[in-house]
Amino acid sequence: MKKLIKRELFYFYLKRPFNFLWFYLLNLVFLLAKGLTTPQQDLPCSPDSQYTFTMAFSLLIPLFMFAFFGGMSMDEIIHKEKIKKYFESLIALSYSPLKIILSKIISLILFLYFIFTLSLFTYVLIFILSGKGFEKIFYEGKFYWLNFLVFSPLIGISILNIEALFYFILKDQRTSSFFSFFFFGIISFKILFIALASPYDFFIMFFLPIFSIISIIGSLLTIFVILKIVSPENYILGV
Amino acid sequence: MLKILIENLTKYYGSKRVLNNLNLEINENDFFILLGRNASGKTTLVRILLKIVKPSYGSARVIFNGKELKRKEIGFILEDETPFDLFSPYEYLKFFSEMYSIKADIDEVLKKFGLYEDKNTKIFKLSKGNKKKLCIAKALIAKPKVLILDQPFEGLDLETKKEVYESLKNEQIGKIIFMTTHELDFVTDYSTHIGIINNGSFLGKFKTEEIKDKKITEFYFEKLNEKTN
């Protein structure tokens, strides 16, 4: 699978610098918007719902970025490859559909995480250059940043996994795109709704970590089961 | 001993039968060309041989010294296959040599197919003929024992077809070349055997030298008519 991942990274990401630049700038704009709009003081003793919502919303930026950009890339990395018979070639070389889809997902995640980290460094650098100390930049606390860097992207990756599955098994690209955005919309809306309805501490200390782990396991299990049940000739041939 | 062995092969897509009880044996050094019109079952047969789809009944195996040949020892071109647009021919062949886990002299292969000058050109800038040649170079890069080519001449002019046939002919010794096509040019000049398939049924395997005196088109329609009558 290493060879497949290497090819994906080289072909889709290194060979397309505009993808790289576009995602980097988009990330940076969202991060700067977060940095400039979240309250620049310590957490109040009894945070109001407006505060909770703003914090929770900013926590979901990585989720949106991963799921949104993932969804945008699926046509290129899965649908067009299917038309060009790339998957058939790989199956003929004895790669299973599961390995093929996983190599696509892993390389996309590596790319997204790399750009995400790079834009985060730029964000920190901009604030340092403007004279702010670390304590002012990372004032939200360890738990917030743990969620921001790990658990929120994990939920984004889970959505991305399901989007990849839609594009992999559905023959019509428009149907895949509809289901992907529908699924992305439903999950994001639900999480925002829960963020607004629950206490801030519960949201960052319990809900996001537990939900992210359940969702990543659930999405991988779904891919595994669906690809076991459905025969490749039902989704790879005749596109 | 190398051979392709197809036994009682039947394939259904849903309720539609696309291959009907096929039996065929192809041996080492054979250049076998399977003729048939569109939707006659050629591509399905290729997909079964390459294990992209499973047969409904029967089997299709590539056997070497009594054992089934590893899939990475079979070179292939799929119907309408196009190489990756953003790669150069060099990068494309390098990728496939890695997939086959071999160290190939890529420059040498590119020279052999007249693609060396375009070695670093993006594939989307190549002509259709050169893209096809690149696909054939990909199929041959691992020096496979068996070549399975599904309609490799689609859209090629006569000169390029001849060139490609020549390159295949040079590779024939010690191998099996299994090719499908519905284009009859040069078929009798290069093949050793011809097979005809119609509506999923195999109409027979014929030695090319036996039909050389006849025009291939006449022979082809004669066999089709024999079956329908």
The predicted-structure confidence for A223-234, as pLDDT tens digits, reads as follows: 999 999 888 887
Q: At what angle do helices A61-74 and A17-37 cross, to 10 degrees?
A: 160
Give the 3-state secondary structure of residue B206.
strand
pLDDT tier at A46, thresholds 50, 70, 90? low
Burial of A17: CB neighbours in 10 Å, binned 0-12, 13-18, 19+: exposed
pTM above 0.80? yes
Residue A11 has its nearest CB partner, among B72, B87, B100, at B87
Strands B31-35 and B193-198 turn out to be parallel
Could you read off the pLDDT of B10-59 as tens digits, one per residue? Answer: 998 888 888 988 899 998 888 999 988 888 888 999 999 999 998 999 99
Task: State the smallest CA–CA distance between residue A232 and chain B in angstroms.
Answer: 7
pLDDT tier at B90, thresholds 50, 70, 90? very high
Could you read off the pLDDT of A103-126 as tens digits, one per residue? Answer: 999 999 999 899 889 998 898 888
Q: What is the pLDDT of residue A239?
A: 43
> What does the angle CA B46 – CA B132 – CA A85 come to, to the nearest 5 degrees?
50
Could you read off the pLDDT of A184-227 as tens digits, one per residue? Answer: 888 888 888 887 777 777 877 888 899 999 999 999 999 999 99
Q: With contacts defined as CB-CB under 8 Å, which chain A residues touch B81?
A: 84-85, 89
Task: State the smallest CA–CA distance between residue A91 and chain B in angstroms.
Answer: 6
pLDDT average, residue stretch B152-163: 80
pLDDT average, residue stretch A130-149: 77
Q: What is the pLDDT of residue A56?
A: 75
Q: What is the pLDDT of residue B222?
A: 76
Contact present, B151 and B46 (Cβ < 8 Å): no
Q: Which run of H or of E encompasses B60? A: strand B57-64
Mean pLDDT of chain B: 85
pLDDT average, residue stretch B91-111: 88
CA atoms of B5 and B63, how far apart (whole Å) = 7
Q: What is the pLDDT of residue A218?
A: 93
Strand partners, B177: B31, B147
B146-150 sheet: strands from edge to edge: B74-77, B146-150, B176-181, B31-35, B193-198, B201-207
B86 CB within 8 Å of a chain A CB: yes
Tally Cβ neighbours within 10 Å of residue A164: 25
CA atoms of B229 and B227, how far apart (whole Å) = 5
pLDDT average, residue stretch B84-100: 89
Measured CA to CA in angstroms, residue B79 lies from A182, B151, B164, B204 at distances of 35, 6, 16, 23
Do the chains contact at B51 and A91, CB–CB below 8 Å? yes
Q: What is the pLDDT of residue A37?
A: 62
Closest chain A residue to the Cα of B148, Cα to Cα: A92
CA contacts within 13 A on the Cβ side of A238: 9
CA atoms of B34 and A77, how far apart (whole Å) = 34
Q: With contacts defined as CB-CB under 8 Å, which chain A residues touch B47?
A: 88, 233, 237
Q: What is the CA radius of gyration of chain B?
A: 18
Could you read off the pLDDT of A53-107 as tens digits, one per residue? Answer: 777 778 888 888 888 888 888 888 888 888 888 888 888 888 889 999 999 999 9
Q: Locate B153 and state its tokens.
A: 């001449």
Phi and psi based region of residue A67 (left: phi greater than 0; alpha: psi -120 to 50; beta: remaining)? alpha
Closest chain A residue to the Cα of B44, Cα to Cα: A237
Best mutation target, A6, A8, A9, A11, to test chain B (most B CBs within 10 A):
A11
B124 CB within 8 Å of a chain A CB: no
Nearest to A223 by CA among A140, A171, A162, A178: A162
